């Protein structure tokens, strides 16, 4: 699963889209860790030094394509409380989820899981700036795209300690 994704330091959200009855496509762009540590200025404090992580013209772009999506929950990564009630095997950026509060919510609030014919799986996609929980008919297809990153997207600074 992480054959492509696991070769990068990190990933940022580039875009996502879903049409009616269509696939959910989450596009990610590679975050490249700099080679030189720099001090990080936060308010009146100096932290670090840390490695800057940036999106470069050479950053790779990937698409995660989910088919037969039953439910999607997404939110800004900085709002994560760590209490999503997840039970999942290890993974770096894409995690298969065995149990979650989201799954319970979907089961109580909708018939999306109850009336689904066939198997379904739940996935957590973690990026530097957005989290996704997806219930779909199968694992995502991960495709390396032959496109350049959108450098016009304004992003906050990201740093790596290691």
pTM, full prediction: 0.85
Domains of the chain by residue range: 2-160
Q: What is the pLDDT of residues 81-120, one digit of tens each?
A: 565 655 555 667 888 888 777 777 777 777 666 665 667 7
Give backbone dihedrals phi and psi of 101, rounded to 5 degrees, phi first.
-65, -35
pLDDT exceeds cutoff 60 at 1: no
- Quickly state the pLDDT bin for 55 (edges 50, 70, 90): very high
Q: What is the pLDDT of residues 113-159, one digit of tens each?
A: 666 566 778 888 989 989 899 988 889 999 999 999 999 999 888 99
Region 45-59: mean pLDDT is 94
Distance CA 64, CA 138 (A): 12
Backbone conformation region of residue 72, classed left if phi is above 0, alpha if psi is from -120 to 50, else beta: beta
């Amino acid at each position: 699963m992480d054959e492509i994704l696991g070769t990068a330091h990190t990933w940022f959200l580039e875009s996502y889209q879903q049409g009616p009855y269509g696939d959910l496509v989450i596009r990610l762009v590679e975050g490249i860790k700099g080679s030189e540590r720099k001090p990080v200025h936060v308010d009146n404090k100096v932290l670090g030094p840390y490695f800057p992580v940036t999106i470069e013209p050479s950053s790779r772009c990937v698409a995660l394509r989910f088919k037969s999506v039953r439910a999607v929950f997404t939110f800004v990564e900085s709002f994560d409380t760590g209490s999503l009630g997840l039970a999942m095997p290890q993974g770096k950026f894409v995690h298969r989820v065995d149990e979650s509060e989201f799954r319970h919510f979907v089961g109580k609030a909708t018939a999306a899981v109850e009336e689904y014919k066939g198997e379904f799986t739940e996935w957590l996609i973690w990026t530097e700036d957005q989290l996704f929980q997806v219930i779909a008919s199968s694992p995502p297809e991960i495709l390396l795209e032959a496109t350049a990153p959108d450098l016009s997207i304004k992003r906050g600074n990201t740093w790596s300690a290691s």
